[in-house]
Every structure is written in C-alpha cells, then in structure tokens.
Structure 1
Amino acid sequence: MTFASTPIPSRTEYVLESIKHAILTGGLTPGQALVETELAGQLGVSKTPVREALKTLAGSGLVVMSRYKGATVRMVDATMAHEVCDVRLLLEPEALRRSVAGGVSFEAAQDALDRADEAADAAERSLENRAFHRALYLPCGNPLLSRMLDELRDQAALVSTAAWATHPSWEREAGEHREILQLAVAGKADAAAKALHSHIASFVSRAFPESTSDTP
C-alpha cells in the first residue's frame, strides 16, 4: 500500500492523518496488524512518530493496542456499530435541529453532497459522507456538542467503511441525505432532525442487524 506524501509541518501529524485516512477508506482493514517498522518504511519516517500516531488513534477508537498482538485496526461488529449509532442518535439530530433553528445556509453540506455524487470511488465517497454529516451539526451553536460529535466521527466513519464493504448502500443513503438537506434548507428543524434520526437508525439496523437468537 502506498501513502500520499503531502508535506505538512508536523511529522507526527502527517503520519497520524495518513494512517487514519488509510483506515477510514479501507486501505487498512479491520483486524489488520499495524507494524511500526512497516508503516515507518512506507511513510519515510522513523518509528517514533508512528508509535505516537498509533497511541492517538487508539485513544480515538480506531486502533486497538494489545500487549501480545501489538496494534491492529479496530474490528467492527454489531455491538460496536450500535453503540456508536446510539450516541449519534442522541446527539446528532438535536445538533441539526439547532443548526436549522439558527438559520444557517448549509452550503457546506450541499458542497459535500455534490462532491459525493462525483466521487470516483467508495473511499472518496466515504470522506464526503463524513463531511456532509459534519456540515449539518457543526453550526449548531454549542461548541461542546460539536466537539463531542467530532470525537465520535472517526468511529462512525469506520462503521460506515466496514458496512459498505459488504452492503454498498450509498445510493440509498445519498437520497436520504438529499431529503434531510432539503428539509434543513427549508427551515423545517423538527422534520430535518426526524429524517436524520431515521437515516442513522435505518443504516445501522440494515448493516448490523442485532441477533434475536436469545429472545424468547
């Protein structure tokens, strides 16, 4: 696998963003071992910034650190997917409702939708999906709420990447995105929030159906 060598001021930040991008676009797959020496060679750096980047990614939930196995890309299962989406369902629709009530234009969300429609591959489409959702909640007027959703955003993207690998449903979700944005632009705060809630809930239930084998 090759990484884009874009020069940025911080070597550790460059390594962090490169590994994160590879994870969230499927270049590094769930369960894959992240060997410091291999990553350092691919990125043209020493092991130190790689080690620091992996620690940061473990803190954000994208990487699992094990005493025996070392670092691996986090596996995505139904439990993890539903936990992430449960938190999103609690926070994201309310953030959108507040954004709409604040009278924002949602130009950034429309731009993300347009770029997603023109995406050359699933990796690019996944990145624009993240950008769309962030453009909905970022102008909510509560910086703490925005930061909480930002902290969850990488795990949410990992869930989407894993789901799309086996259930490529982005065309359906793109249609739902357009409906949500149309309601938001029209100033229908409650309806937009309800549509977003349905969008998130239906995605996780389709991609990660919970087992009912133990249900009497």
Structure 2
Amino acid sequence: MLFNGLPHESISKLERPIPVREQVYEALRKLISSQSLHPGQRLVESELAGHLGVSRQPVREALQRLNSEGWVDLRPAQGAFVHEPTGDETDQLFGVRVVLETEAARLAAVGSCGEGLERLDELCARGEAAVAADDVETAVIANATFHACVVELAGNAVLAQLAAHVEQRVRRYFTPIVSQAWAEHRELIAAIAARDDARAQQVMRAHTVDARTRFPPRAGQLT
C-alpha cells in the first residue's frame, strides 16, 4: 500500500474550500439578519451576484435555501423577497422562545457550576454598567450574551441550536429594550446558584413572556 510504514499523524487530510453557494448563503443571511436587506425588500439575483462577485447560479441556490429556512419568500412570477413576519408568526416565535429559554434555565440550575455563575454575574454587571452609561449597543450585546450563556449552561446541544435559531429570527425584526431586564437577570442568577430549578423556570418564564413588550418592532415592522 502507498502509505504503509508512514506514521499516521504525518498524513493530513486536505482542507476543502467552502463551496461558493455556501459562502453566498452566509453572506445573504448576515445581510438579512443585520437589516442591511430589510423585510419586504425585493432581491434581484443579478444585483446580488454583482454585489458578491459571483454568478447567478449560487445566488439562486442560496435564495432557495433561505426560502426553506424562512429568511426569504419566493413568489411565483414576482421573484424573491426578504421575509416579513405576520402578527401571528411573531406571537408564535416569542411563544417558542419562552418554552426554550425556560427549559434552559431549569437545566442550568440543575447543572450549575461556579465558573458559569461567574460568567453570568460578569455579563450582568456589564449590562448594568452599560445601562447606567446609556450605552445601548453594549447593553443589547450583554443581554444577548447573557441569554446565550444560560442556554450554554443548560448543556443541551439540540436546545442550544434551536434557541439560537429562534433568537436570530427575533432580533431580525425587533430591537430589545434591555434597561428593565437586569434585576430579573439577578433573580435568575440567584435561582441558578441555589440550584432551585423551579424558581429558575419561574423567573425565566416571566422574564421572556414580558420580553414581548420589550421588543418594539423595527421601523416599518408589524407588532
């Protein structure tokens, strides 16, 4: 055999380049989630291809994938449009968010550790300081990172994947107002530290249900 006698570690697999369609998909998803492409906006394949420096084929494939994931609407005889949620869809989205994050809080309390609690406390302090300094951008980032940390501490990879997807869709259409959230974050940290999973569930459920009123729609979006 060709490689007989060679140390196993000396044979490394070649790294394959990322397919163009995958790169286009990621680029368009980021443009949509950042609101650079806003809900309801028409997406012209030739314009997107020119902007990204690719042919129309990978753009078409990326749009089909984005359509299947709910980021884009493909309308017969009209073309592709950035998806715009209905009021019912918004309510369902926030409902799923409540379920996922409530369960994440329960699991985090069951398996809490000192390092994770320190991280939550640090993020909470960062958010409180940002609110005091009227630094909205830092407060929003700290809030999102705090919730992501709770999900991470839950130790459930499937839940984390679902929660991240829902959170992306929520933040695509809504801008959180986080100045009121930090006292509840402190309550959640205390419940997780006490390993009180029932209390952690209760605090997170109330927090995420109430969050619907703390996420005003972005300009021009539905309530």
Of 80, 101, 109, the match for 2:89: 80
Matched, 1:33 2:42: yes
CA contact (8 A) 1:61 1:155 kept: no
Give the gaps of 5 or more residues in structure 2. 1-16, 218-223
Equivalent residue number for residue 171 of structure 2: 157
**RMSD between aligned residues:** 3.4
The answer (yes or no) to whether the contact 1:96–1:140 under 8 Å persists in 2 is: yes
Q: Which residue of 1 aligns with 2:149?
A: 135
Deviation at 1:185, TM superposition (A): 4.5
Which has the larger displacement, 87-96 or 183-192?
A: 183-192
CA distance in 2, matches of 1:125, 1:18: 26
CA distance in 2, matches of 1:34, 1:81: 23
Identity among equivalent pairs (%): 29
For the 8 Å contact 1:109–1:131, the answer to whether it is kept is no
How far off its partner does 1:183 sit? 4.1
Name the residue aligned to 1:99: 108
SS at match of 1:138: helix
Q: CA deviation at 1:133?
A: 2.5
* Shift in Å, 1:176: 4.3
Residue type of the partner of 1:192? A
Question: Do the aligned residues in 2 keep the contact of 1:60 with 1:151 (CA within 8 Å)?
Answer: no
Show the counterpart of 1:20.
29
Structure 1 unaligned blocks of 5 or more: 1-7, 210-216
Structure 2: distance between partners of 1:35 and 1:128: 36
The whole-number CA distance in structure 1 between the counterparts of 2:24 and 2:90 is 26
Displacement of 1:128 in angstroms is: 5.9
Contact 1:126–1:157 (CA under 8 A) maintained in structure 2? no
Instruction: Write out aligned runs for 1:37-186 (5 A).
Output: 37-104=46-113, 105-106=115-116, 114=126, 117=130, 122=137, 129-158=143-172, 162-164=173-175, 169-173=177-181, 176-177=184-185, 179-181=187-189, 183-185=191-193
Question: What's the TM-score, normalizing by structure 1?
Answer: 0.70
In 2, are the aligned partners of 1:97 and 1:192 still within 8 Å (CA)?
yes
Letter in 2 for 1:163: F
Q: Quick check: 77-86 or 146-155, which moved more?
A: 146-155
- Compute the displacement of 1:52 (Å): 2.2
